[in-house]
Amino acid sequence: MPDLVRAETILGLLASGASPQESGLFPDDGVPILRPHPPPARAGTAAATRAVLDAAVRGEPVEILYVGLRRGGSARWRTVWPRALEFTGMFWRIHAQDLEDVQAHHPIKTFVLARVLDARPATDWREPAGFVPRALVRDRRRLRVHLSDALTADQATAVRNQLDIQDGVMTWPDHALHTFRREFTALAVPADVVWPVITRLEED
């Protein structure tokens, strides 16, 4: 391991999937580096995956046959305009402008790629008068954190270190805030959403 490179820098490179040439660590050096094994990065069909990726790369709208997790939900066609692709470490998501939500002025919403059952180019969509393209907000939001009183002093110190909480404040990217709240806070799940989707796990 290179002595002149900060350990934090090396770990950051490893987390990002850097090659051994970049990190200075090779497969035979010490213990293995384990990374999440994500499910396949795909929509319902290979053609749908291609249609979504092409739309994102070309900056064009796309029609997706999408199913959310609301109770009793079925897939329906929606016209969206991809604005960013995100790999969460476990699956791919699309941050896209909802071209059908006229009342909310076509906001950016998040769509899980695996829930896209089919997709096709939005060849019939025409930009309406007054349409405003939206860019994904990439700013990091400052959040004042109130830790659980049930944590011991050592546990609280560890959590502050884990989440990089400085003087009671942490920063987090806007696009990942919902996922963070679901994992670390008591975020209430709407009554009409099926959650959790897995109720039991057993060794097979």
pTM equals 0.79
Q: Are 111 and 146 in contact (CB under 8 A)?
A: no
Both tokens assigned to 162: 């884990």
* 47 vs 201: CA distance, rounded Å: 32
Task: Kindly list the structural domains of the chain, giving each domain's residue range(s) and its CATH number in brackets, ordered by start.
Answer: 46-121 (2.30.30), 140-184 (no CATH)
Q: How many CB atoms lie within 10 A of CB 66?
A: 23
> Per-residue pLDDT for the chain (204 aa), expressed as one digit of tens each?
555 568 888 888 888 778 888 888 777 777 777 777 777 788 999 999 999 999 999 999 999 999 999 999 999 999 999 999 988 878 899 999 999 998 888 999 999 999 999 999 999 888 887 788 888 766 788 999 999 999 999 999 999 999 999 999 999 988 888 888 888 898 888 899 998 899 999 998
